[in-house]
Amino acid sequence: MKEKYIRGIFRYVFEFYTAGLAGWLYEVSVMWIMFRKYENRGILHMPVVPIYAVGAFILLAVLRKKRNPLFLFVFASLLTTVFELGASYLLEFIFHQQFWTYRTWPLSILDRSCVISSAVFGGMAVIYFWVLRPISGWLSKKLPVWICGALSLIGITALAADLTISVSQLMKER
């Protein structure tokens, strides 16, 4: 039972970092394409945007398993749009600043989401369920349990430290 628990935690940590890194790469790429400049995106110092990982986990909690890709794409596009809108208002309420805007994007939704980004999130959700989840499952079975445990502990500790530092810096800027 302990081994299954450790391997399960490893999967969540691996998927959190991978989804967050994919979000960071997407955000940095968009900034580069639109403005020809590098801009570190997200609130963390690590190249991870937690909202993408949280969005992936919300989808996992709601759907629980891999679905038809078209259904998954449409459902995820809608759900992540609602999540992005809610998260933008919540973060603005907590930190007194707006972290992103789609004001200049076509098909903007209240300047806080966009049909284009929603479609990207839908595509990312399909990749998450059809590619990332199977890879994390395979890795969690193939790696020795002590490596799964060590990597999970390192990942959780690094995330907690970065989140603590980043949030305290944001609170000072308020």
The pLDDT > 90 percentage for the chain reads 73
CA 115/CA 123 separation, integer angstroms? 12
Q: Which pLDDT score, from 0 to 100, does residue 100 have?
A: 87
CA 82/CA 103 separation, integer angstroms? 17
Please answer whether residues 28 and 38 qualify as being in contact, where contact means their C-beta atoms are separated by less than 8 angstroms.
Answer: yes
Task: Copy the structure tokens of residue 138.
Answer: 């395979």
By C-alpha distance, which of 119, 61, 56, 51 is closest to 85?
51
| Mean confidence (pLDDT) of the chain | 92
Q: Is the pLDDT of residue 174 over 70?
A: no
Least confident of 36-45, 55-64, 71-80: 36-45
Q: Which long-range contacts (CB under 8 A, 24 or more apart) does 104-110 make?
A: 109/81, 109/85, 110/85
Q: How confident is the model at residue 66 (pLDDT cuts 50, 70, 90)?
A: confident
Is the model's pTM score more than 0.75? Answer: yes
By C-alpha distance, which of 173, 10, 19 is closest to 97?
173
Instruction: List, for residues 135-159, the tens digit of each pLDDT value.
Output: 999 999 999 999 999 999 999 999 9
Instruction: List, for residues 18-39, the tens digit of each pLDDT value.
Output: 999 999 999 999 989 988 998 8
Q: Which pLDDT score, from 0 to 100, does residue 43 have?
A: 84
Phi, then psi, of 109 in degrees rounded to 5? -115, 105
Amino acid identity for residue 117 in this structure: S
Q: Which pLDDT score, from 0 to 100, does residue 160 have?
A: 97
Q: Which pLDDT score, from 0 to 100, does residue 99 have?
A: 86
Least confident of 3-17, 101-115, 137-151: 101-115
